[in-house]
Structure 1
Amino acid sequence: MSSASTLGVAVVGTGRMGADHVRRLATVVSGARVAAVVDVDPERVKRVAATVEGCAAYTDPAAAMADDSVDALLVASPGPAHEATLLAALDRGLPVLCEKPLTPDPESALRVVAAEAGLGRRRVQVGFMRRYDADYLRLKELLAAGTYGRTLMLHNRHRNPASPPGFTDRMTVDDSLVHEIDVTRWLLAEEITAVRALRPAPSGQAPRGLQDPQLFVFETAGGRLVDTELFVNCGFGYQVSCEAVAERGTARIGEDHGLLTNTAGRWGGEITPGFEQRFEGAYDRQVQRWVDATRRGEVEGPSCWDGYAAAAVCAAGVRAQATGERVEVALAERPALYR
């Protein structure tokens, strides 16, 4: 399409994330409009479509892809539905921004990788939005410049106030730890080769049957160690932080200071209540960059290979979680398209 044209986007999935992306495309992002929304729930998709002038409502992604006003897809449906939608979009040559996960397992993710590699060009960007967060971008720039020498370790914290109903041990890896998996690969520019999972005494705040908190340790191809404290029922707010330890210094992001007050003999501030507030700017920046690149006929950002590699590490993490053993990560050969 012409870079001067407005990008017609079909948002697939109108749940919590999909509805927020509809709002973002309609009110925040420039150069795009919501041409269609898709959801298996016919009443919900009609309600969401009614919030945007000229927006069509569909219950089948294929119908939206056949709409002449649709130039690109933003996929925010549940992970198990991603593979079919992505393969259909690739078959039509449509550009896609796909919320993580690319797919829920490495086998299906590899099929998407193979389909895109067969085209000989990238069409899919995976929605690892932390790569667009201002603090993470500054940390990436610092580490890439080698200002403090070689990076030796990363220390991550990932805390949520409470987990949603039905949240399982596996979901702590696939839905939460996956973000630290991606930022580790991105910040260090190398693959994760092995995973260990450690289980401290569980919190009394954790729902029955859920191990919480947990500590995961990654080994990387360059011999670095990365630990992540994952605490999804901390009870007091949402905290995500990362500290890089290098040869001649350290750098830390994610300290949630904001406004500090002093009153009545006490001092304090606020803790971010959820991921939407903490990463709102990152989501906005990610979607705007995707729209801009798509209008230029380009694809940037996290690739299908990044989505596959994250799925492979998640699979190893789930095994480590279940067995208590060190589990090596098995990766297929990387296609030339992603080198």
Structure 2
Amino acid sequence: MTSTQSTAPADLRVGVIGVGQMGADHVTRISTRTKGARVSVVTDYLRDKAEEVPGQVPGCRVVDSPEELIAAEDVDAVLIASPGRFHKDQTIACIEHGKPVLCEKPLAMNPEDAYAVVQAEQASGKALVSLGFMRRFDAGYADLKDAITSGELGQISIVNCKHRNAHTLPGFVDSMMVYDSAVHEIDAIHYFLEEPISAVQAVLPTPGPRADEGQHDPMLLLFRTASGIIVTDELYVNTASGYEVRTEVVGSAGIATIGQDSGRVTTHLDGGRWGGSIPEDFRPRFVDAYDREVQAWVSAIADGTMIAERSATAWDGYLAAAACEAAEQALTTTGFVEVTTAERP
């Protein structure tokens, strides 16, 4: 009598580039909450920072450069959490080595470089690039997306977005409000409506008392899509109260709002107030979305599809870069600024 021995599939070996705040979170996420994956190699500009990881993740090693990590034989897939200016070259290197990559936003610092990534992926003949717009994996976002796609809300005319932070670091100028904050709503527009942004206008109210000198905070961006849908994005990055993201979709058959979850609601006797807790920053607000995003990425690689169903792609990263460039121009321009995009390969 012969016996067969089943062997469990080996965990996906993930290399992490950049182990600062986001990268360190991802290392912990993969090591403790992601099925079917482990962190095998890490690298960081600050070698001492990278050296801390093997003590927390048995079997992990440190290399000197992103190039060495990407080429390593014990790396099956790469997660990029380095500063944005390095994303283009590191993502293209992953494509050239045939390795799936999850790159934190932005894909690149300008539309031309983002388009170069799109072209590199197209030339490879493989879909390898996932982009870290984690809101796509938030339960509220997924529910709202499904309601729009199913036609439950009817014809969509207006989308209202709000993006609020407790505070920003010194030097957080208006352009950073576009590239670091509004970029998430820009991708949400593409995700929800499945059509490109055609134009953007900036409306700059009187700055609030906590705005840095020269900073227009709060700020309002108006987006117009290809079919004429208008999207408002209220950005307020120094509220001193916490981190809030809300989205309201106005349709002919219904109006839906997400982002108002506050956990326990308490009615107080001294004035009839009600309220809940507001997270200090984006990490507790979207921790579940990050978990789902990374798990979906790992699972997609395991089943051969490479890119998860809801994930942003390199093309989404290019569209976001083009819209951000137009939004930056709108900060110093009267009226709408057209968004210019190349043809999709």
Q: TM class, shorter-chain normalised?
A: over 0.9
Paired letter, 1:199: L
Choose which of 317, 323, 327 in structure 1 pairs with 2:333: 323
Structure 1 contact 100–127 (Cα < 8 Å) conserved: yes
Question: Aligned runs of 1:124-143 on 2, under 5 Å?
Answer: 124-143=129-148
Paired letter, 2:322: A
Distance 1:267 1:219, change over 3 A: closer
2:34 is matched with 29
Paired letter, 2:184: H
Distance 1:162 1:3, change over 3 A: farther
CA distance in 2 between counterparts of 1:65 and 1:326 reads 42
| Deviating 4+ runs (over 3 angstroms) | none
Unpaired segments of 5 or more residues in structure 2?
Answer: 1-6
> How does the TM-score come out when normalised to structure 2?
0.94
CA distance in 1 between counterparts of 2:21 and 2:81 reads 9
Paired letter, 2:204: R
Choose which of 320, 323, 338 in structure 2 pairs with 1:313: 323
Match status 1:159 vs 2:164: yes
CA distance in 2 between counterparts of 1:3 and 1:104 reads 41
Match status 1:223 vs 2:228: yes
Per-residue deviation, 1:192 = 0.3
Choose which of 54, 62, 71 in structure 1 pairs with 2:67: 62
Per-residue deviation, 1:272 = 2.2
Unpaired segments of 5 or more residues in structure 1?
Answer: none
Per-residue deviation, 1:263 = 4.4
Question: Aligned runs of 1:274-293 on 2, under 5 Å?
Answer: 274-293=281-300
CA distance in 2 between counterparts of 1:106 and 1:181 reads 14
Q: Which moved more, 1:29-38 or 1:54-63?
A: 54-63
2:125 is matched with 120
Structure 2 contact 71–97 (Cα < 8 Å) conserved: no
CA distance in 2 between counterparts of 1:240 and 1:194 reads 23
Paired letter, 1:302: A
CA distance in 2 between counterparts of 1:74 and 1:116 reads 16
Match status 1:42 vs 2:52: no
Structure 1 contact 41–59 (Cα < 8 Å) conserved: no
Per-residue deviation, 1:67 = 2.0
Q: State, as a whole percentage, how many aligned pairs show the same letter.
A: 45
Per-residue deviation, 1:323 = 2.1
Count of matched residue pairs: 334
Question: Partner of 2:332: helix, strand, or coil?
Answer: helix
CA distance in 2 between counterparts of 1:132 and 1:268 reads 26
